[in-house]
Amino acid sequence: MVLPWPNTDMSDQDERVEELESKVERLEATVKGLTEELVEVHDRLETLEDEAADSRAVQSTESRTERTRDDESGESDEAKSQESQKEDETGGDSELGDDIIVA
């Protein structure tokens, strides 16, 4: 019978098997450790994404509030401007006091 590997005694083969088994155990431990780290990183990433989404929601709400205030302030400025323009057209006097002359 012809073997595909060189004919060596059994102790060399046993050592080789033990070496390979040891290497497999180290690789399995490495894979397990990396998997645990990956799960931890994934959980932390989800937490950070949730915090970022919450932060964006708060900023969006604050931004809407500021825009509403700006809109309200813009409307009142516009109303004041129109009122001022009417006063300029009428001479700035109220219509009720046109007939009174103060000496």
Which pLDDT score is estimated for 17?
A: 94
DSSP state for residue 61 in the 8-state scheme:
H
Q: Which domain holds residue 68?
A: 10-73
Which pLDDT score is estimated for 28?
A: 98
Decide if 23 is inside a domain: yes
Q: What single letter denotes the amino acid at residue 44?
A: R
Q: Mind listing the pLDDT tens digit of every residue in the chain (103 residues)?
A: 456 666 656 788 899 999 999 999 999 999 999 999 999 999 999 999 999 988 888 888 877 777 777 666 655 566 666 666 666 565 555 555 566 676 5
Decide if 43 is inside a domain: yes
Supply 95's token pair: 């219509």
Which pLDDT score is estimated for 59?
A: 82
Q: Is the dihedral of CA 49, 54, 57, 63 positive or negative?
A: negative
Decide if 67 is inside a domain: yes
Q: What is the pTM of this model?
A: 0.45
CA 92/CA 85 separation, integer angstroms: 9
7: left (phi over 0), alpha (psi -120 to 50) or beta: beta
Structural domain count of the chain: 1
